[in-house]
A = this chain, B = another copy of it.
């Protein structure tokens, strides 16, 4: 099954070689490990999950610490339903509050509570330090450029940055 030694013209849809698969699995495992490591450390240090942090970051930068639910979903790049569930959990912990939107009865204004903002601020430096230690510190400046190029190539191939953003 291993040799995909078919006739010319099939280079397009040939199956991955052993080496390509190795690189793929390495990429995947590494990314997963990195995310897990960061999440665990962050959670234990700050009592916020990565998701909580993203939400609070967006809200903290917004006018009156408030965003329409749909804008928030756009900013953090999540599906509606995921955001709803997450906001429900965050509301229970009193990190955010939800109120029907002033101008449109359909919409919902999501607002970071004082406690939410406070927790976010306290988490900020540990978060940045963790990013530095677990990610940035792995690379030389030149390698960091490689990282960027790799992400870019992947995004292009996935069709991100196309319709979704500014």
Binding site for B on A (CB under 8 A): 13-16, 20-21, 23-24, 26-35, 37, 77, 125, 128-129, 131-132, 134-139, 143-144, 146-158, 160
A-side interface mostly: helix
Contact A132 B28 (CB under 8 A): no
Nearest B residue to A77 by beta-carbon distance?
Answer: B29
Cross-chain contact of A132 among B16, B151, B153 (Cβ < 8 A): B16
B131 touches A27 (CB 8 A): no
Q: Complex formed: what's the CA distance from A35 to B24 in Å?
A: 12
Contact call A147/B144, Cβ cutoff below 8 A: no
Q: List 9 A-B contacts (CB under 8 A).
A: A15-B125, A16-B131, A24-B135, A27-B147, A30-B151, A30-B154, A30-B155, A33-B160, A34-B154
Partner of A156, one of B20, B138, B148, B150: B138
Chain B residues within 8 Å of A147, by CB:
23, 27, 150
Give complex CA distance A101, B31 in Å.
Answer: 34
Cα distance, A106 to B111, chains bound together (Å): 52
Name A152's closest neighbour in chain B (CB-CB).
Answer: B26
Given A15-B129, A21-B131, A24-B131, 19 additional A-B pairs, CB 8 A: A13-B129, A13-B132, A15-B132, A16-B136, A20-B136, A20-B144, A24-B135, A24-B136, A26-B151, A27-B147, A30-B154, A34-B158, A134-B157, A134-B158, A135-B154, A135-B157, A143-B149, A143-B150, A146-B149
